């Protein structure tokens, strides 16, 4: 039996809790919402790991600490964290801060419920359904299904699992022994979650067949046809084609209409990974980049990226109306999904996913959409495109900036050519020396805290910067700053 000895005092003091939270919220507003979004403040305060461990005093002890110590802990955590809402944080596919989305996240965390049954999350079950319906309508579907997932990688893995189950439903019970060798097709530009998903789902990474992409990173449909025929000749069964709308590095959009034609002719599931580029659907000016997406069977879309809904907000959308999600993933746990409840049990969505507990990810997007409206979000997307174009044109006016290619999205990929390498493109070691520039500049900018820009090699190309223009608070002045800062940081190279 449990120990029935009464506690000496309750572990909850409402007045003290209120005072603590008011102080913490004040720190958050001052240090994150205000300073963290100010261009005059640092993006980060870099410390080496051992020093940071000492500064944070990470050890967990048997005795608790005072309120003053806890508030100091909060300040330290914020001080030494990267300010991803800062206008000079260009490092990831997410950045910026929307106050309405943040308000939604605060309410979500405060209510601390799980999105699996209507009885404990009635507001959010209905809200998620409405938000998913809106996202599907933007794709071009008047009906369908969907669910919010813990990140785009999981959305993509779900799509692989659903495509497999739709073709071989026995695999849910019998596992991989019910399957022939399977093949899915995507380009080398795809997100790495597909190889991870193939391994996780027991298909093996060899099942991922790589389709050639053109010089801009777009899938070549003719090679897709060739790879499918080759897989069949080798005894594999094609079951899924993955197209990407907004690749991670180059920001490429695969030709969906041509790919959909082939999938329709071959009877293959088409999944579109629009985790990055899906938000372009809100823009009447730019949504042509995703022409044909309505012909997909499933779509992954992350509003926490370009729409700035806040991590995490990742939707998997399905054209299916046969309850495929629940048939594929359901296990009918009787302690959660009783069929004799006093309300419509179709509202219990928890059996659509492989998780049990599932956080609420719809409120922040819903509240932001309510505040901004579709028109406001469209302006946000269009502004990102416009600023990316401004940046590119400014680069062309300056010596030392070399574009990898003209961007069609908000990924601006470029080399900074330092003074010592200018005019020496014909040198045998030019590419090797140029590839060393980005890592040096990245270290300098991070240690100074002035900005953050990602870099990577890509195919035969040496390291180049990939700058993401997504923060809705960005201005032309911020674009000018980053160009000036790169010139300053690299002037002695």
Predicted pLDDT of residue 319: 98
Regarding whether 165 and 33 lie in a shared domain, the answer is no
Regarding whether 199 and 348 lie in a shared domain, the answer is yes
Q: Concatenated DSSP letters for 191-257?
A: -THHHHHHHHTTS-GGGEEEEPB-TTS-B-HHHHHHHHHHHHHTT-EEEEEEEEBS-TTT--B--HH
Of the residues 31, 64, 81, the one at which a domain ends: 81
Cα–Cα dist 407/392, whole Å? 8
Q: What is the pLDDT of residues 458-490, one digit of tens each?
A: 999 999 999 999 999 999 999 999 999 999 999
| CA distances, 476 to each of 149, 322, 480 (Å) | 35, 49, 6
Regarding whether 172 and 29 lie in a shared domain, the answer is no
Predicted pLDDT of residue 5: 65
Regarding whether 292 and 390 lie in a shared domain, the answer is no
Regarding whether 337 and 235 lie in a shared domain, the answer is yes
Residue 134, pLDDT > 90, answer: yes
Regarding whether 419 and 485 lie in a shared domain, the answer is yes
Six token digits for residue 268: 């293959």
Predicted pLDDT of residue 6: 62
Q: What is the pLDDT of residues 238-292, one digit of tens each?
A: 999 999 999 999 999 999 999 999 999 999 999 999 999 999 999 999 999 999 9
Mean pLDDT of the chain: 96
| Residue 345 within any structural domain of the chain | yes
Q: Is 331 exposed, middle or buried (0-12, 13-18, 19+ CB in 10 A)?
A: exposed
> Helix, strand, or coil here: 434?
helix
Regarding whether 331 and 306 lie in a shared domain, the answer is yes
Regarding whether 139 and 286 lie in a shared domain, the answer is yes
Residue of 29, 36, 152, 150 lying closest to 84 (CA atoms): 36
Predicted pLDDT of residue 9: 63
Q: Which residues contact 33 (CB under 8 A, 6 or more apart)?
A: 85, 97, 99, 102
- Cis preceding linkage at 312, omega within 30: yes
Percent of the chain topping pLDDT 90: 97
Regarding whether 225 and 322 lie in a shared domain, the answer is yes
Residue 7, pLDDT > 70, answer: no
Q: Which residues contact 379 (CB under 8 A, 6 or more apart)?
A: none
Q: What is the pLDDT of residues 138-163, one digit of tens each?
A: 999 999 999 999 999 999 999 999 99
In this prediction, residues 6-21 reach a mean pLDDT of 82
Residue 1, pLDDT > 90, answer: no
pTM: 0.96
In this prediction, residues 338-350 reach a mean pLDDT of 94
| Residue 269 within any structural domain of the chain | yes
Residue 4, pLDDT > 80, answer: no
Regarding whether 154 and 65 lie in a shared domain, the answer is no
Percent of the chain topping pLDDT 70: 98
Predicted pLDDT of residue 10: 66
Q: What is the pLDDT of residues 394-420, one digit of tens each?
A: 999 999 999 999 999 999 999 999 999
> Given pLDDT bands bounded at 50, 70 and 90, which one contains residue 87?
very high
Cα 169–chain centre separation: 30
Q: Concatenated DSSP letters for 327-341?
A: HHH----TTT--TT-
| Residue 104 within any structural domain of the chain | no
User: Is residue 441 within a helix (H) or strand (E), and if so which, with residue range?
Assistant: helix 437-448
Whose tokens are 């042509």? That residue is 288
Per-residue H/E/C for 9-55: CCCCCHHHHHHHHHHHHHHHHHHHHHHHHCCCCCCCCCCCHHHHHHH
Six token digits for residue 22: 């008011």
In this prediction, residues 378-400 reach a mean pLDDT of 98
> Given pLDDT bands bounded at 50, 70 and 90, which one contains residue 11?
confident
| Residue 62 within any structural domain of the chain | yes
Q: Which CATH number goes with the domain that contains 132?
A: 3.40.640.10
Predicted pLDDT of residue 455: 98
Torsion over CA of 264, 269, 274 and 275, rounded to 10 degrees?
180
| Residue 256 within any structural domain of the chain | yes
Residue of 294, 479, 301 lying closest to 383 (CA atoms): 479
Tell me which residue range forms the domain holding 65.
Answer: 14-43+45-81
Q: Where are the alpha helices (DSSP H) in 341-405?
A: 363-396
343-381 per-residue burial string, b: 16 or more CB within 10 A, e: under 16 = eeeeebbbbbbebeebebbbbbbbbbbeebeeeebbbbb
Predicted pLDDT of residue 12: 78
Of the residues 359, 392, 414, the one at which a domain ends: 359
The number of distinct structural domains making up the chain is: 3
Q: Which CATH number goes with the domain that contains 476?
A: 3.90.1150.170
Cα–Cα dist 436/307, whole Å? 34
Regarding whether 379 and 437 lie in a shared domain, the answer is yes
Residue of 169, 139, 179, 175 lying closest to 322 (CA atoms): 169
Cα–Cα dist 165/177, whole Å? 13
| Residue 86 within any structural domain of the chain | no
Residue 213, pLDDT > 80, answer: yes
Q: Any idea what DSSP says for residue 88?
A: T
> Helix, strand, or coil here: 446?
helix
Regarding whether 343 and 376 lie in a shared domain, the answer is no
Cα–Cα dist 79/70, whole Å? 14
Q: Which region holds residue 409: left if phi is over 0, alpha if psi is between -120 and 50, else beta?
A: beta
Predicted pLDDT of residue 8: 59
Lowest-pLDDT range of 4-8, 65-69, 183-187, 349-353: 4-8
Count the Cβ atoms, other than its own, within 10 Å of residue 236.
Answer: 18
**Torsions phi, psi for 371 (to 5 deg):** -75, -45
């Amino acid at each position: 039996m449990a120990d029935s000895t009464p506690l000496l005092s309750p572990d909850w003091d409402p007045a003290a809790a209120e005072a603590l939270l008011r102080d913490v919220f004040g720190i958050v507003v001052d240090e994150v919402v205000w300073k963290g979004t100010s261009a005059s403040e640092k993006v980060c305060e870099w410390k080496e790991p051992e020093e940071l461990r000492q500064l944070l005093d990470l050890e967990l002890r048997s005795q608790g600490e005072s309120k003053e110590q806890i508030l100091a802990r909060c300040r330290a955590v914020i001080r030494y964290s990267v300010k991803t809402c800062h206008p000079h944080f260009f490092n990831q596919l997410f950045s910026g801060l929307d106050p309405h989305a943040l308000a939604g996240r605060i309410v979500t965390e405060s209510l601390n419920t799980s999105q699996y049954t209507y009885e404990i999350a009635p507001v959010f079950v209905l809200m998620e359904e409405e938000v998913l319906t809106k996202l599907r309508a933007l794709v071009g579907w008047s009906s369908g299904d969907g669910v919010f997932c813990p990140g785009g990688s999981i959305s993509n893995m779900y799509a692989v699992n659903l495509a497999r189950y739709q073709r071989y439903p026995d695999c849910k019970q019998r596992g991989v022994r019910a399957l022939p060798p399977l093949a899915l097709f995507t380009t080398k530009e795809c997100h790495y979650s597909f190889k991870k998903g193939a391994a996780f789902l027991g298909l093996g990474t060899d099942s991922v067949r790589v389709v050639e992409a053109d010089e801009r990173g777009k899938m070549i449909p003719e090679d897709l046809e060739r790879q499918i025929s080759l897989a069949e000749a080798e005894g594999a069964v094609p079951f899924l084609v993955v197209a990407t709308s907004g690749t991670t590095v180059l920001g490429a959009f695969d030709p969906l209409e041509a790919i959909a034609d082939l999938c329709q002719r071959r009877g293959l599931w088409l999944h579109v990974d629009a985790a990055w580029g899906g938000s372009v659907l809100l823009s009447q000016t730019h949504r042509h980049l995703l022409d044909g997406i309505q012909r997909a069977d499933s779509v992954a879309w992350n509003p926490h990226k370009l729409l700035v809904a806040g991590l995490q907000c990742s939707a998997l959308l399905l054209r299916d109306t046969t309850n495929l999600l629940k048939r594929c993933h359901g296990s009918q746990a009787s302690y959660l999904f009783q069929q004799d409840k006093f309300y419509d049990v179709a509202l219990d969505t928890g059996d659509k996913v492989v998780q049990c507990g599932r956080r609420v990810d719809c409120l922040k997007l819903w509240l932001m959409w309510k505040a901004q409206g579709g028109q406001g979000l469209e302006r946000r997307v269009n502004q990102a495109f416009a600023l990316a174009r401004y940046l590119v044109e400014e680069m062309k006016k300056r010596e030392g900036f070399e574009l990898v290619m003209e961007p069609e999205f908000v990924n601006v990929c470029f080399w900074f050519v330092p003074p010592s390498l200018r005019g020496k493109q014909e040198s045998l070691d030019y590419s090797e020396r140029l590839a060393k520039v980005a890592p040096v500049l990245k270290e300098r900018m991070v240690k100074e805290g002035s900005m953050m820009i990602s870099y990577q090699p890509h195919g035969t190309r040496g390291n180049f910067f990939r700058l993401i223009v997504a923060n809705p608070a960005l201005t032309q002045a911020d674009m000018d700053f980053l160009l000036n800062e790169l010139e300053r940081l690299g002037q002695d190279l």
